[in-house]
């Protein structure tokens, strides 16, 4: 009882406000935010935002439209309801809603605090079109777990993003926070409340908090303390099940990075979904500077879960290099409701994805052949996007058409741009320098707190490397000339050949030949701009064709799924009849499905290469 008593006092002290508060203006902060995770009904959390006194006549309160790393406009304001502003006498004030994410208060000098309820995203993903990607989403499951991606909960006042925040969270007993946000220990009597401090609003957004019944494993990689926290709905997995693989992988990552030292701690927050209609469906992860939120299905077997964690976390962890240590003003002073996007996705995502593959061959986790195979797969996947689209233009306009639909190419061509650049710098420096060296130079010059100017970065890179690097950027990154990878691979004694490979009928591995057109009643069409397999080509199907029917069955998103399933049982003589719509006309094709193959690239080492080239290749892959 005593503890509770102290707790109430502490909260009252921390959260106390009233007329006297007029003495403290908002300018220095902190903005106090109170979140109640105890009194939760209908998966809604009550949030109170209490700023210092405003001296301006009117103020806008905003919830983010978009956050760093998602590259999509998600309107987190749509999950807010019952917003009320109170004056210092405790009376509700007039609030006008300017858009889905913005509320305007005209008598700002009278404003004491704002109160509202937050709905979570996981249980409505199924119903909403363009649902928030689960790792950026929120979950409110009373007494079980709370995924607090704080951009869904905590707003900011226009013009006051650079002031400190104090976050006070009342939590159910038995649940514990996992986060990289700075926790303040005020009094051991605060048993059911946690207090966190952020130096500015960015830190609030950059540090998700995951409340669960504690299931954590902590280990050291180099000087970094890594904590893995898990929520597994049926208890099928524990953090200890994944610890060894994570520890081995991240130790290898740290060995690869060497002395890049951007953070002292790193949190992996893993949410495993039941995959039911009311649970998370967007699997993968979202990076933050010193943590990552990972969402995966609980039902997959341990070896696949481990592999998914290796693939996802190795990428996210390398984000401690960029953007954490190397980023531009656009990211440092991110505008959550009218974002200016940086030109350098080739680096933020491309370098990160390239390192996530290179470190594995570098540290002996995979063979050279496997590394070549991965780069080759990226070349083939990149064919699904516009190869003649300037990467810097795409990056700056990534929230808009036609750039938005090319976003995923940052993980394919983005990585290959870095491979070619790495090879070029290795060649010019006799193997001594590469992209990792470059990133170390940039991170020494800039670092966590010093953003670069977006349009000066390439000049800077050229100035510390070679004139050929400028040509490379001008042609292939700023310009729209596709890269001839064979030229770069040849410098390393490798050839790029076309070979015929087995394929599925509708999928090559996990990548489908077909897609859904959401703007055309979910029509199923054959993807354009990609290499089709012998099944489609043999029948005379072309990229862009809409599949109207297969063997008389009308095709839509529902009916195509079982047909894809059945196709795994088809033999070469299975007959098929497709009704296609091409340029507004109906075309019918039919014939035997055959044995599907596809022409793909293959990277092979040349047998007799000079010792010089061998040494260069070694420096690239093992240096
Ligand atoms: Zn990334």
What confidence tens digit (pLDDT) does each residue in 277-314 have?
889 988 899 989 899 999 999 998 999 899 889 989 99
Q: How many other CB atoms are found less than 10 A from the CB of residue 280?
A: 27
DSSP H helical ranges for 509-579: 534-539, 557-567
- 58 lies in a domain? yes
| pLDDT tens-place string over residues 143-185 | 999 999 999 999 999 999 999 999 999 999 999 999 999 998 8
Q: Which of 266, 286, 312 is the last residue of a domain?
A: 312
**What's the 322 CA to ligand 1 centre distance in angstroms?**
9
Ligand 1 centroid – CA 418 distance (Å)? 14
pLDDT at residue 259, rounded to an integer: 80
Reported pTM: 0.83
Whether the pLDDT of residue 23 is over 80: the answer is no
First to last CA, the chain: 61
**How much is the pLDDT for 16?**
33
Distance 300 CA to ligand 1 centre (A): 23
64 or 127, which is more confident? 64
Ligand 1 centroid–CA 314 distance in Å is 10
* E strands, 64-136, in order: 80-87, 95-99, 102-105, 111-119
Quick one: average pLDDT of 85-89? 95
Across the chain, what does the average pLDDT equal? 90
Residue 119 near residue 79 (C-beta atoms within 8 A): yes
CA 317 – ligand 1 centroid, Å:
9
Residue 188 binned pLDDT confidence (cut-offs 50, 70, 90): low
Distance from residue 350's CA to the centre of ligand 1 (Å): 8
Q: Distance from the CA of 469 to the center of ligand 1, in angstroms?
A: 24
Among candidate residues 312, 340, 366, the one where a domain is terminated: 312
Question: Is the same domain home to 97 and 224?
Answer: no
User: Residue 443 maps to which CATH number?
Assistant: 1.10.390.10
**Within a domain: 522:** yes
CA of 206 to the centre of ligand 1 (A): 14
- Domain boundary pick from 170, 194, 211: 211
- The answer to whether residue 320 is domain-embedded is no
**Cα–ligand 1 centroid distance for 528 (angstroms):** 26
Distance 321 CA to ligand 1 centre (A): 11
Instruction: Report CA(345)–ligand 1 centroid distance (Å).
Output: 9
Flag whether 154 is in a domain. yes
In the reported structure, the alpha carbon of residue 312 is separated from the centroid of ligand 1 by a whole-number distance in angstroms of 9
Cα–ligand 1 centroid distance for 492 (angstroms): 27
Cα Rg of the chain, angstroms: 27
CA of 595 to the centre of ligand 1 (A): 37
User: How far is the centre of ligand 1, averaged over its atoms, from the C-alpha of 165 (Å)?
Assistant: 27
Q: 441 CA distance to ligand 1 centroid (A)?
A: 21
Distance 429 CA to ligand 1 centre (A): 29
485 and 513 co-located in one domain: no
Q: Which pLDDT does position 568 carry in this prediction?
A: 87
Task: For residues 238 and 152, state if they share a domain.
Answer: no
Give dist(CA 513, CA 507) in Å, integer. 6
Please write the tens of the pLDDT for every residue from 319-348: 989 888 889 998 888 899 988 999 999 999
Given a cut of 60, whether residue 1 has pLDDT beyond it is no
233-247, 258-272, 363-377, 603-617: range with lowest mean pLDDT: 258-272
Question: What tokens does 180 get?
Answer: 């990289």
Which residue, chain included where needed, has tokens 């524990």? 238
- Say if residues 210 and 179 touch (Cβ distance below 8 Å): yes
pLDDT of the residue at 69: 86
Q: How far is the CA of 324 from the centre of ligand 1 (A)?
A: 11
- Residue 561 scores a pLDDT above 90: no
237 and 376 share a domain? no
- What is the distance in A from the centroid of ligand 1 to the CA of 160? 28
Cα(410) to centroid(ligand 1), Å = 9
What integer pLDDT is reported at residue 11 of this predicted model? 30
Does residue 5 carry a pLDDT above 90?
no
What is the 493 CA–ligand 1 centroid distance (Å)?
30
> Residue 256 has what pLDDT?
94
Considering the domain boundaries, does residue 20 fall inside one?
no
> From the CA of 327, how far away is ligand 1's center (Å)?
13
Cα three-residue angle 278-279-282, rounded to 5 degrees: 130
Mark whether 527 and 555 lie in a shared domain.
yes
Helix (H, G, I), strand (E, B), or coil: what is residue 445? helix
Together in a domain, 47 and 157:
yes
* pLDDT at position 22 over 80: no
**554 within domain boundaries:** yes
CA of 117 to the centre of ligand 1 (A): 31
Expressed in angstroms and rounded, the spacing between residue 582 Cα and the centre of ligand 1 is 37
Domain of residue 230: give its range.
Answer: 215-312
Q: Average pLDDT for residues 102-107, to the nearest whole number?
A: 95
More confident position, 508 or 467: 467
If asked whether residues 365 and 304 sit together in one domain, one would say no
Could you tell me which residues are beta bridge partners of residue 549? 554, 579
Q: Distance, CA 315 to ligand 1 centroid (Å)? A: 6
What is the 134 CA–ligand 1 centroid distance (Å)? 15
CA of 269 to the centre of ligand 1 (A): 16
Q: Residue 28: what pLDDT? A: 77
- Token representation of residue 267: 């949190």
Domain total in the chain? 4
Gap from CA of 348 to ligand 1 centroid (Å): 7
Cα of 47 to ligand 1 centre, how many Å? 30
Same domain for 336 and 207: no
**CATH code of the domain containing 158:** 2.60.40.3650
In terms of pLDDT, which residue wins out, 49 or 404?
49
Q: What is the mean pLDDT of residues 22-38?
A: 81
Question: pLDDT tens for residues 406-429?
Answer: 998 999 999 999 999 999 999 999
- Give residue 331 CA to ligand 1 midpoint distance, Å: 14
pLDDT, residue 6, reads 17
Residue 39 pLDDT grade (very low, low, confident, very high; cuts 50, 70, 90): very high
- Residue-level pLDDT at 10: 27
Residue 323 Cα, ligand 1 centroid: separation in angstroms?
Answer: 9
Give every CB contact of residue 10 below 8 A, 6+ residues apart in sequence: 186, 187, 189, 190, 193
**C-alpha of residue 320 to centroid of ligand 1, in Å:** 10
CB burial string 287-326: b at 16+ within 10 A, e below: bbbbbbbbbbbbebeeeebbebbbebbbbbbbbbbbbbbb
Query: Residue 524: inside a domain, yes or no?
Result: yes
Task: Compute, in angstroms, the gap from residue 459 CA to the centroid of ligand 1.
Answer: 24
Do 394 and 486 share a structural domain? Answer: yes
- 560 and 446 together in one domain: no
- Does 589 or 12 have the greater pLDDT score? 589
Ligand 1 center to 310 CA (angstroms): 14
- Quick one: tokens of 496? 């790029």
Q: Answer whether residue 574 shows pLDDT above 70.
A: yes
Output the CA 586–ligand 1 centroid distance in Å. 42
| 591, 615: one domain | no
How many angstroms is it from 422 CA to the middle of ligand 1? 19
C-alpha 344 to ligand 1 mean position (Å): 13
Q: Is 346 in the same domain as 381?
A: yes
CA of 308 to the centre of ligand 1 (A): 15
Which pLDDT value is given to residue 8? 24
Residue 578 CA to ligand 1 center (angstroms) comes to 39
Question: Domain for residue 604, yes or no?
Answer: no
């Amino acid at each position: 009882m005593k503890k509770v008593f102290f707790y109430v006092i502490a909260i009252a002290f921390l959260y106390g406000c009233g007329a006297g508060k007029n003495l403290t203006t908002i300018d220095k902060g902190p903005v106090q935010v109170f979140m109640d995770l105890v009194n939760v009904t209908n998966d809604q959390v009550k949030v109170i935002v209490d700023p210092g006194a405003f001296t301006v006549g009117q103020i806008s309160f905003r919830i983010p439209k978009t956050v760093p790393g998602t590259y999509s406009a998600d309107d987190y304001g749509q999950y807010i309801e019952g917003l009320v502003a109170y004056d210092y006498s405790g009376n509700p004030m007039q609030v006008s809603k300017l858009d889905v994410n913005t509320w305007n208060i005209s008598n700002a000098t009278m404003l004491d605090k704002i109160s509202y309820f937050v709905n979570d995203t996981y249980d409505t993903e199924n119903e909403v079109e363009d649902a928030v990607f689960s790792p950026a989403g929120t979950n409110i499951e009373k007494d079980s777990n709370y995924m607090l991606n704080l951009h869904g909960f905590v707003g900011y006042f226009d013009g006051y993003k650079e002031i400190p925040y104090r976050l006070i969270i009342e939590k159910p007993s038995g649940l514990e926070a996992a986060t990289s946000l700075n926790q303040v220990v005020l009094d051991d009597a605060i048993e059911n409340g946690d207090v966190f401090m952020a130096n500015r609003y960015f830190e609030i957004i950059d540090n998700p908090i995951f409340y669960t019944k504690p299931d954590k494993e902590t280990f050291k990689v180099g000087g970094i303390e890594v904590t893995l926290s898990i929520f597994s709905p049926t208890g099928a997995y524990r953090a200890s099940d994944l610890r060894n693989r994570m520890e081995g992988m991240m130790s290898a990552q740290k060995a690869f990075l060497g002395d890049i030292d951007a953070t002292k701690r790193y949190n992996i927050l893993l949410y495993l979904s039941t995959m039911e209609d009311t649970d998370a469906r967007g699997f993968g992860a979202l990076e933050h500077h010193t943590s990552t939120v990972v969402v995966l299905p609980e039902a997959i077997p341990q070896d696949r879960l481990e592999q998914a964690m290796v693939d996802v976390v190795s990428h996210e962890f390398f984000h401690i290099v960029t953007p954490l240590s190397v980023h531009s003003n656009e990211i440092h002073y991110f505008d959550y409701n009218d974002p200016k996007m940086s030109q350098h996705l080739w680096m933020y995502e491309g370098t990160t994805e390239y390192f996530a593959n290179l470190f594995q061959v570098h540290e002996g986790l995979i063979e050279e052949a496997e590394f070549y195979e991965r780069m080759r797969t990226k070349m083939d996947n990149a064919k699904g996007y516009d190869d003649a689209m300037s990467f810097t233009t795409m990056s700056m306009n990534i929230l808009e058409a036609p750039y938005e639909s090319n976003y995923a190419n940052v993980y394919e061509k983005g990585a290959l741009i870095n491979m070619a650049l790495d090879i070029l710098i290795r060649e010019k420096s006799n193997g001594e320098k590469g992209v990792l060296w470059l990133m170390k130079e940039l991170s020494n010059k800039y670092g966590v707190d010093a953003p670069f100017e977006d349009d000066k970065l390439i000049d800077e890179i050229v100035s510390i490397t070679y004139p050929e690097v400028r040509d490379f950027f001008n042609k292939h990154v700023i310009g729209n000339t596709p890269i001839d990878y064979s030229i770069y691979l040849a410098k390393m004694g490798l050839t790029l050949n076309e070979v015929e490979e087995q394929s599925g009928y509708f999928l090559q591995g996990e990548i489908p030949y077909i897609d859904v057109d959401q703007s055309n009643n979910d029509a199923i069409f054959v993807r354009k701009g990609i290499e089709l397999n012998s099944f489609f080509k043999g029948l005379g199907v072309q990229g862009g064709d809409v599949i109207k029917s297969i063997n008389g069955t009308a095709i839509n998103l529902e009916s195509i799924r079982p047909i894809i399933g059945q196709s795994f049982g088809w033999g070469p003589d299975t007959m098929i009849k497709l009704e296609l719509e091409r340029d507004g006309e109906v075309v019918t094709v039919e014939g035997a499905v055959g044995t599907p193959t596809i022409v793909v690239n293959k990277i092979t080492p040349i047998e007799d290469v000079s010792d010089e080239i061998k040494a260069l290749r070694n420096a690239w892959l093992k240096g």
